[in-house]
Structure 1
Amino acid sequence: MIKTDKIAIVILNWNGRDMMRQFLPSVVKHSKDEGCVIVADNGSTDGSLDMLKEEFPEVELLPLPQNYGFAEGYNKALDLVEAPYYLLLNSDVEVPEGWLRPMLDYMEQHPEVAACQPKLLSQKNKQYFEYAGAAGGFMDRYGYPFCRGRIFADVERDEGQYDTTAHLLWATGAALMVRSKDWKESGGLDGRFFAHMEEIDLCWRLRSRGRGIVCVPQSVAYHVGGASLAAGNPRKTFLNFRNNLLMLYKNLPADELKPVMRVRKWLDMVAAFKFLITGDVANFKAVYKARREFRRMLPDFEKDRQHNLQLAVDGGHGLPERIDQSLLLLYYAKGIKRFSALHF
């Protein structure tokens, strides 16, 4: 058990020795006043632990016996950490001096807020937002996530347009600061997701229960992105489609479930057909496999859905960060490519 009165900055690693060698120095250097840096290792076989012991003796280590995936790996690790705040940080994140203090100050001043994220910029091109979280996450009626600074694959240049603190539906798992009390009461990440969408599911549960999620853009982090699975990888497509459907099933208000799922069935068929006509048979199969696996797993999630609805304020309705429109329609039919052009 690791106990600290600081922020527990927990980096989950799986065979990321070279990535940590590149980015961990900035985290250690710029977090020592407010944070305790911990690396939880998901059963790596690339010598990560030996490298960490030799080159980063100041970092706490939590070796896990196997690769539990992103979601359950963090659950296992944080069961062994006691701290007022957890900060889940990807291994491919670079941070500047003073990155933690604005988030910590905001959380200390706003006890109604469960979690927050920094402004997330691209490590490869620091003038642009990073796809995974940008300046905070939202969602359309049919489960399509988007961010302040990113709609689908269109990523905006950071020109200070989102430098105000904003309330969100979800904060990025690449740099997610969450109160340990809220983490424990919500049950943490859903380990059955393995990876992808798990932070959105967690944040949606917290929001439905009346807790706040925000972006504090005075804090900044630089994310490489795609370090585990690259965009277009069929495994990533499978996890994104399956987990998105599971997340919708777990969290949608009762009167929305059937109509939303009917539309999603057709939208997923369109997405699969698009892969097929472009010759991407592997991703075509991944979408159908995801829907088949979703149906198979549904019985395991019935109790979770009922539990979430019981704890949700007003049955989960009234979250302003979920727009009651189709992002696909807004993007493709109306040409809306920037968050600032949305009205909700």
Structure 2
Amino acid sequence: MPTPCAALGYAMGTEIDVVIVSWNVAELLRGCLATLTMPETAALVGQVIVVDNASSDETLTMLAREYPQVKVLPNRENLGFTRANNQALALTSAPYILLLNPDTLLKEDALLLMLDALRAQPQVAVVGPRLVYGDGSPQPSRRRFPTLAMALAESTPVEWHLPNNPASQRYRMADIPDDRAQLVDWVTGACMLVRRAAMEQVGVFDERFFMYSEELDWCKRFTDSGWQVAYQPDAMVVHLEGASSSQASAARLVRFNTSKVLYHIKHHGRLRGETIRLALLGVFASEWLLEAAKWMLGHKRELRASRMRAYGGVLRSGLRHV
């Protein structure tokens, strides 16, 4: 019996090369790769490259057994999302590259619809699909470039306590329906179809971003160079968000906000970046004190201790990029 990837041609020089970075998500990766074998998708795919960031699960065994034609780059340590992607990007040759998270599932015609959008708009460097959660509910994937207010709110206690604040709503483009094709500032990196010509002009990911904000930085560089970013809602992709990045949540909180500070320093200057860094530290210090008070009162002590450890990790890091 042919392996599941037998439906994929992997003929060099075809339309799209696929890049996936994986870390300890063998089951999710199996499902993601299976969606690439659908006839409508497989007909477009040249090679599939999986970079494994030193997984300790059965990822490498599964790939060798079930997807032997996938090109696998096994790293001896977790090099981070950007470095791993760049490893694979250096091996691509197709005119378009699909960057895909391992916790995504492409619907049948999603890849073709994104490709059609790039073909029809030669000024567009990146196309992102409509993302949905596993239950089919919408997952916001369009973004405006972050303002100073949004830098202080996104994925911090400010937004957790006030999820519908005006800055967050505008940032996630809640004022524009998500069922129409449109140009946007940037799209989230769970699934991005990228034009090689644009990448060759602008360059690959900035490896100072270990993970988080790397696609924001990339789209900012594309638009600063005269390219555009598009959103194609007819292309639908399921994103089981959190499944591939929920490990080590305290470290994730540090990396997310450190990358945020780095982005603002890079694109808006050190004064703005340092202002954001210090303000974020103030936010997390206040939240640590609040959690400590609740812990002392005996309220859900295990939860409070977990949050104190996470916020303490942020404070100890100083949110300084190393």
TM-score range, shorter chain: 0.7 to 0.9
Deviating more after overlay: 35-44 vs 170-179: 35-44
Q: What aligned pairs does 1:14-163 form with structure 2 within 5 A after superposition?
A: 14-29=23-38, 30-36=40-46, 37-123=48-134, 125-126=135-136, 128-130=137-139, 134-142=140-148, 144=151, 161-163=177-179
Distance (whole Å) between structure 2 residues aligned to residue 121 and residue 211 of structure 1: 26
Name the Cα RMSD after superposition.
2.9
1:65 Cα deviation from its structure 2 partner: 4.5
- Contact 1:103/1:216 (CA < 8 Å) preserved in 2? yes
Count of aligned positions: 281
Distance (whole Å) between structure 1 residues aligned to residue 206 and residue 122 of structure 2: 24
Structure 1 residue 242 and structure 2 residue 248: aligned?
no
1:259 Cα deviation from its structure 2 partner: 5.0
1:184 Cα deviation from its structure 2 partner: 3.2
1:12 Cα deviation from its structure 2 partner: 1.2
Aligned to 2:191: 175
- Contact 2:35/2:105 (CA < 8 Å) preserved in 1? yes
Post-superposition Cα deviations, 1:1-37, rounded to whole Å, max 9, x if no partner, equal x943221111112222222223321232252021233
Aligned to 2:7: none
Distance (whole Å) between structure 1 residues aligned to residue 237 and residue 68 of structure 2: 24
Structure 1 residue 262 and structure 2 residue 268: aligned?
no
TM-score (norm 2): 0.77
- Change in CA separation of 1:282 and 1:186 when aligned onto 2, cut-off 3 Å: farther
Deviating more after overlay: 281-290 vs 91-100: 281-290
- Contact 1:8/1:86 (CA < 8 Å) preserved in 2? yes
- Change in CA separation of 1:241 and 1:34 when aligned onto 2, cut-off 3 Å: same
- Change in CA separation of 1:260 and 1:76 when aligned onto 2, cut-off 3 Å: closer
- Change in CA separation of 1:69 and 1:43 when aligned onto 2, cut-off 3 Å: same
- Change in CA separation of 1:140 and 1:66 when aligned onto 2, cut-off 3 Å: closer
- Change in CA separation of 1:272 and 1:139 when aligned onto 2, cut-off 3 Å: farther
1:204 Cα deviation from its structure 2 partner: 1.3
- Contact 1:238/1:289 (CA < 8 Å) preserved in 2? no
| Secondary structure at 1:192 match in 2 | coil
1:285 paired residue among 309, 312, 322: 312
- Change in CA separation of 1:173 and 1:263 when aligned onto 2, cut-off 3 Å: closer
Structure 1 residue 13 and structure 2 residue 22: aligned?
yes
Aligned to 2:220: 204
Distance (whole Å) between structure 2 residues aligned to residue 34 and residue 227 of structure 1: 27
Give the unaligned 5+ runs of structure 2.
1-10, 293-306
1:77 Cα deviation from its structure 2 partner: 1.2
Distance (whole Å) between structure 2 residues aligned to residue 86 and residue 226 of structure 1: 23
1:51 Cα deviation from its structure 2 partner: 1.4
1:243 Cα deviation from its structure 2 partner: 0.6
The letter for the 2-side match of 1:90 is N
| Secondary structure at 2:244 match in 1 | coil
1:111 Cα deviation from its structure 2 partner: 1.4
Aligned to 1:308: none
Structure 1 residue 215 and structure 2 residue 231: aligned?
yes
- Change in CA separation of 1:66 and 1:268 when aligned onto 2, cut-off 3 Å: closer
- Change in CA separation of 1:277 and 1:51 when aligned onto 2, cut-off 3 Å: same
Deviating more after overlay: 61-70 vs 173-182: 61-70
1:287 Cα deviation from its structure 2 partner: 2.6
- Change in CA separation of 1:226 and 1:82 when aligned onto 2, cut-off 3 Å: same
| Secondary structure at 1:28 match in 2 | coil
TM-score (norm 1): 0.73
| Secondary structure at 1:81 match in 2 | coil
Give the unaligned 5+ runs of structure 1.
298-344
- Contact 1:197/1:244 (CA < 8 Å) preserved in 2? yes
Distance (whole Å) between structure 2 residues aligned to residue 244 and residue 135 of structure 1: 17
Distance (whole Å) between structure 1 residues aligned to residue 95 and residue 280 of structure 2: 42
- Change in CA separation of 1:266 and 1:53 when aligned onto 2, cut-off 3 Å: closer
Distance (whole Å) between structure 2 residues aligned to residue 59 and residue 204 of structure 1: 31
- Contact 2:181/2:231 (CA < 8 Å) preserved in 1? yes
- Contact 1:141/1:260 (CA < 8 Å) preserved in 2? no
Post-superposition Cα deviations, 1:60-104, rounded to whole Å, max 9, x if no partner, equal 433444421111000011111111111110111111111111111
